[in-house]
Structure 1
Amino acid sequence: MKIILHIDEILKLLLAQEDTDFDKKITKDDSGSKKFILIDEKTKQNFAIEGTYFLSNLLQELILAQESNQDFIETEKIFELPANRISRMIKDYFWNGLTRTLDESGLQKLLIDSKSKTEKSIIYVPFTDDFALNYYQKLASKFNLKVVQLPKEITPQYVSSINDEGGILVLGLQNKDGKISGLPFVVPGGRFNEMYGWDSYFENIGLLIDGKLDLAKSMVDNFCYQITHYGKILNANRSYYLTRTQPPFFSSMIREVFEAMPNKDFDWLQKTLSIAIKEYETVWMETGKRLTENGLNRYFAQGIGLPPETEAGHYDDILKPFAEAEKMSISEYEKLYYERKIENLKLDNYFVHDRSVRESGHDTSYRLEGICADLNVVELNVMLYKYETDFAEMISNYFDDSFEYNSKIYTQKYWIEKSENRKIIINKFLWNEEESCFCDYNFKTQKQNIFLSATSFFPLWAKIATQEQADKMVTNSLPKLIFSGGIAGCSKKALKNIDSSQMQRQWDYPFGWPPHQIIIWQGLINYGYDNLAQELIYKWLFMITKNACDYNGTIPEKYDVVACSHNVFAEYGNQGTHFEYITREGFGWMNASFQLGMRLLSDDLKVELNRLTLPSHL
């Protein structure tokens, strides 16, 4: 039913009555009457809106009506069931709010950014893309833009020299009927206003569920551009990420997009598969870099000095003893070290590990602190196993078991042998029978790093574990990670040697993240633990839905799964929580986890989810 209203007037009255903390939201923390009467201007019929959830829905619908110059709102959207509303908002609004293009129509959204450090915005173009260089040079004056062509060889020294500029790295352009436009991509949200590495895989899961195939395909095409022109899938398309890659999910992205195509584009698959093989061989399998002597892989990000993207004070604990030894303040020592006016080999070594942590996506966690580049981590080797099995299946299924790349013929047998060999080595070095789990392996000390993490369960996602191993993990290890809101980043016991005065790391207990939930749900389903998967999906969706009901539709980056709260203050805070009136985008992989959860959750549990998150008086 449509209610005819004076939208601006009602909006002012509603905020004056219910937004008692003046944050332009209606949440459970406001102390208003929690009841508002609407009168239809046409029928004079009264409608009572009661409770935080419905009042915040009213606020959101009034804002949307105001922006559309409408004089009505629809009652069914005010009284929409909570989980259904979140899912609809993600599909209809949030993905659009997160979509960007690096072209004339979309540059403004990307250039006005908190990470831009110079008066004139800078955009970097690969040495190998003259077409893009010409395009952006033509736009330079319009956007007060400095266009820089990157050198042919990008060294850590060069990247260090541009650290203070914070420029954007270009992505793919397309020319359709003489009109040049950027290949669209999805950003995570909040202050993360770039195309990020592993975020993009999980975002793609949500995009495909919501029928946004073209956008999901464009995400893959942008990764192809990055590998072709930057030599790797970037941590993100920002200048200081040029020496870092990210967790490799590219083969999964390609398969899932191709399988969603109603009309299979085999030329596209051939191109993307070739580029994925190139990434596998040049980024991950070159000896002495990310491939170690035992045949397993590691994260190994190059770079010099402090990573420039961290917030002030992040490294105070690390720098303090060195500053005190030189009788300097921490800030003074940090400045001189950052400018390379002080040499410190111990710090240089620490920051190799620190950059590698950031390349891993788990920035930061005590699991990886100070040792990341020395670890064959479970999840990375599982993801590369998935590459190998994906390559085998795609070549067998779609290319008649013969795929040519770089003058070499690849067959299913070639990749199966690769994957089987990796599985043997994973079991040799990473499986721990006593712990009933897979553990990271320190190839320098030749010992396992015993630290129960959500990443320990990635082998179930890629089907590496035997059924016996999976049973032991689910029985003995997984319960230590399960809390009221789902899976925590690590067990509480894993942090037993961490002093309470030390900074909380956001990828550790008690925080929970969408990638871990998604991977573990699928892993459990792979091994016949459907009921447990349903339980974990429900816990996660209940936490998201309840917080959204209580906090004006908030869909954030991460949660405290022990407290079931989005009020997370570790390290970088919580993105996706800062908005006025209505969230425009949620947060990329949180959106995706919700949509996947809703797809997987049984109908009876969806009914229960909506029933239990509605205001108690209804």
Structure 2
Amino acid sequence: LPPPDIVYSQIYCHGELLHQVQMAKLYQDDKQFVDMPLSSAPDQVLQRFGELAAAHNHSIPQQQLQAFIQEHFQSVGQELQSWTPEDWKDSPRFLQKISDPKLRAWGEQLHQLWKKLGKKVKPEVLSHPEQFSLIYSAHPFIVPGGRFLEFYYWDSYCVMEGLLLSEMPGTVKGMLQNFLDLVRIYGHVPNGARVYYLQRSQPPLLTLMMDSYLTHTDDTAFLRDNIGTLALELDFWTENRTISVSLGGKSYVLNHYAVPYGGPRPESYSKDAKLADTLPEGDREALWAELKAGAESGWDFSSRWLVGGPDPTLLSSIRTSKSVPVDLNAFLCQAEELMSNFYSRLGNDIQATKYRDLRQQRMAAMRAILWDEEKGAWFDYDLEKGKKKLEFYPSNLTPLWSGCFSDLDAVDKALKYLE
């Protein structure tokens, strides 16, 4: 696959064509345009657009713009075909265990959805990737549905848990292979399988996905083949998403969501541009980067990130990168424990010790920076104000779910916090 900075990014990721189409509001949903495949090579499309823009002094009337799109773009979804998972079966065991007839009927309806949500990428995306915003995947996958015809990173963890309950490990393995391929090509798992998502990731659950798959299949050979790629994905977070926090004369390294790229999100371009109009011009690129970081968090959007500006109730006050999130660090702490277990399973004690030590360092940092002894819970840390944010969010208790605490009393304290 080509790197993301080639010519077609000037159509799907940034540039005048994207700006004019999205700001003209030709579609109710900005995502519709950036999901349309091209009918011809991107350099030809850009050349024709340049000629059209020049002829109209770079302000193309809506009718001509619509005609241009109809000539040079295809309708959404042309690059995908429906796919029925080969390992789907009529009556998985979990359905037989449900005694309530109404609940069982509901479970059966959910189980049927795998056949409706299965997708396979057509071969032309592999042969002509420059004509699509969809990133080619060698293996079929399950999509969220609705306007989302591509797979997403952390959504897919929940999808895989459901697939494993439906006794469909083959489908899960294929989806895992798609994610691992993305890491090998791009160095990380993007937010979703579109070129315009490549600048940002999502909560790092790939290691946990592998663990769930292994629990159901005991496929050690698959782990051995891909352990290096799992390590590469965690390296992305270490190299690109770490922050040093000083407290009590000590420095602690933790992770945060941060996307060092401005510009409106292509799939929400007009909304982001309109929001930026409320700010001074010099603050707009920073706003767009924070919106992308909010999307990377998976909480797009939440009051968790609205901590800046004169009015913290406005989305323009978003400061995602200025928070050290409890859940992100709990996910990474869990991943480090799993990596240690994986390497032990493969007989590599040196790497197992490395990840065990990383987990211990992170737990110490989380206790020092995020844990509040009086409240009995963990809290996001505000980097600008230098203090914890004590509002309640379910994410405050993620370390309990991920097993990332050393004080056994933390469970009782957290239960009291919930009361």
The alpha carbon displacement at 1:170 in A equals: 1.3
Matched, 1:214 2:161: no
Tell me the distance in 1 between the aligned counterparts of 2:212 and 2:146.
27
Q: Secondary structure at the match of 2:130?
A: strand
Report the counterpart of residue 420 of structure 1 in structure 2.
Answer: 360
Residues 254 and 272 in structure 1, CA contact (< 8 A), matched pair in contact too:
no
Aligned AA for 2:119? R
Q: Secondary structure at the match of 2:299?
A: coil
Report the counterpart of residue 241 of structure 2 in structure 1.
Answer: 290
Matched, 1:460 2:400: yes
Tell me the distance in 2 between the aligned counterparts of 1:215 and 1:268.
14
Matched, 1:400 2:356: no
Tell me the distance in 2 between the aligned counterparts of 1:356 and 1:253.
23
Report the counterpart of residue 102 of structure 1 in structure 2.
Answer: 121
Q: Secondary structure at the match of 1:101?
A: strand
The alpha carbon displacement at 1:280 in A equals: 0.7
Aligned residues: percent identity?
25
Residues 276 and 287 in structure 2, CA contact (< 8 A), matched pair in contact too:
no
Report the counterpart of residue 267 of structure 1 in structure 2.
Answer: 221
Report the counterpart of residue 148 of structure 1 in structure 2.
Answer: 130
Report the counterpart of residue 410 of structure 2 in structure 1.
Answer: 469
Tell me the distance in 2 between the aligned counterparts of 1:216 and 1:313.
35
Q: Which has the higher contact order (CA 8 A, sep 6+)?
A: 1
Report the counterpart of residue 203 of structure 2 in structure 1.
Answer: 247
Matched, 1:347 2:305: no
Aligned residues: 301
Tell me the distance in 1 between the aligned counterparts of 2:279 and 2:196.
27
Residues 262 and 286 in structure 2, CA contact (< 8 A), matched pair in contact too:
no
Equivalences for 1:14-29 in 2 at 5 Å? none
Report the counterpart of residue 78 of structure 2 in structure 1.
Answer: none
The alpha carbon displacement at 1:416 in A equals: 1.2
The alpha carbon displacement at 1:193 in A equals: 1.1
Tell me the distance in 1 between the aligned counterparts of 2:142 and 2:227.
22
Equivalences for 1:60-71 in 2 at 5 Å? none
The alpha carbon displacement at 1:267 in A equals: 2.6
Which of 129, 134, 140 lines up with 1:168 in the alignment? Answer: 134
Tell me the distance in 1 between the aligned counterparts of 2:103 and 2:158.
20
TM-score between the two structures when normalised by the length of structure 2? 0.68
The alpha carbon displacement at 1:423 in A equals: 0.2
Residues 307 and 355 in structure 1, CA contact (< 8 A), matched pair in contact too:
yes
Tell me the distance in 1 between the aligned counterparts of 2:157 and 2:226.
15
Equivalences for 1:300-319 in 2 at 5 Å? 300-310=258-268, 313=271, 316=274, 319=277
Tell me the distance in 2 between the aligned counterparts of 1:223 and 1:298.
22
Q: Secondary structure at the match of 1:363?
A: coil
The alpha carbon displacement at 1:103 in A equals: 2.4
Question: Which deviations, in whole Å up to 9, do the C-alpha atoms of 1:221-267 show, x marking residues without a partner?
Answer: 01001101122101001121011111001111111112211xx4333
Equivalences for 1:19-58 in 2 at 5 Å? none
What RMSD over aligned residues (CA atoms) do the two structures have, in Å? 2.0
Question: Which deviations, in whole Å up to 9, do the C-alpha atoms of 1:159-194 show, x marking residues without a partner?
Answer: xxxxxxx811112x2xxxxxxxxx011111111111
TM-score between the two structures when normalised by the length of structure 1? 0.47
Residues 265 and 272 in structure 2, CA contact (< 8 A), matched pair in contact too:
no
The alpha carbon displacement at 1:446 in A equals: 2.0
Matched, 1:387 2:312: no
Q: Secondary structure at the match of 2:395?
A: helix
Tell me the distance in 1 between the aligned counterparts of 2:271 and 2:286.
20
Question: Which deviations, in whole Å up to 9, do the C-alpha atoms of 1:89-144 show, x marking residues without a partner?
Answer: 222x101111111125xx8xxxxxxxxxxxxxxx5xxxxxxxx4xxx24xxxxxxx
Instruction: Select the structure that is richer in helix.
Output: 2
The alpha carbon displacement at 1:317 in A equals: 5.3
Residues 168 and 238 in structure 1, CA contact (< 8 A), matched pair in contact too:
yes
Residues 226 and 232 in structure 1, CA contact (< 8 A), matched pair in contact too:
yes
Aligned AA for 1:88? E
Residues 334 and 404 in structure 2, CA contact (< 8 A), matched pair in contact too:
no
Report the counterpart of residue 361 of structure 1 in structure 2.
Answer: 298
Which of 374, 383, 389 lines up with 1:443 in the alignment? Answer: 383
The alpha carbon displacement at 1:314 in A equals: 6.2
Report the counterpart of residue 107 of structure 2 in structure 1.
Answer: 87
Q: In terms of Rg, which structure is larger?
A: 1
Q: Secondary structure at the match of 1:100?
A: strand
Tell me the distance in 2 between the aligned counterparts of 1:371 and 1:308.
20
Question: Which deviations, in whole Å up to 9, do the C-alpha atoms of 1:534-585 show, x marking residues without a partner?
Answer: xxxxxxxxxxxxxxxxxxxxxxxxxxxxxxxxxxxxxxxxxxxxxxxxxxxx
Tell me the distance in 2 between the aligned counterparts of 1:306 and 1:355.
8
Tell me the distance in 1 between the aligned counterparts of 2:226 and 2:385.
38
Unaligned runs of 5+ in 1: 1-79, 108-122, 124-131, 138-146, 150-165, 174-182, 323-343, 403-409, 480-618
